[in-house]
Structure 1
């Protein structure tokens, strides 16, 4: 088909993603699992780039991970990390007894 309407049928211009469309959901799940296994702290862009390379054969630099995360709908904001040996009961007792002004 030719003409102006054929433009809508053509593939988009520009560089294509290194991460295949079919791998987006498994990639997101791998990131979540890696964060859960960590037990404290958060994943860095370097960690996520390593997951992309080892599990999905997509070679991203840590700097390129940020736009990828945005494109696939994952927020970079994470909850405050908690030390693996933290005791919630002791922390709560401290909050109740400390002077906070």
Structure 2
């Protein structure tokens, strides 16, 4: 199991060791929160793909992918670009009585 899992995953996996499988992603997150896993760990778990996990090993492998940024779901969306409003729209916002 250590071949597929980075060292930092060990702590969260110990918290999840009592979880019955198969388990949905929300159950994995709830288990971690119930046993007091930190926000960093639960934040990573929320980036797991929404699916049913058949074993703790599957969770560990997916968590490792999340940490390496290998999952599309785990990546953050690009920052939105702010497009300037046309001049007439800017003026009407500045003076709502118009």
Calculate the TM-score normalised by the size of structure 1. 0.26
The structure carrying a bigger helix percent of its residues is 1
The structure carrying a bigger strand percent of its residues is 2
Calculate the TM-score normalised by the size of structure 2. 0.27
Q: Relative CO higher for 1 or 2, CA cutoff 8 Å, sep ≥ 6?
A: 2
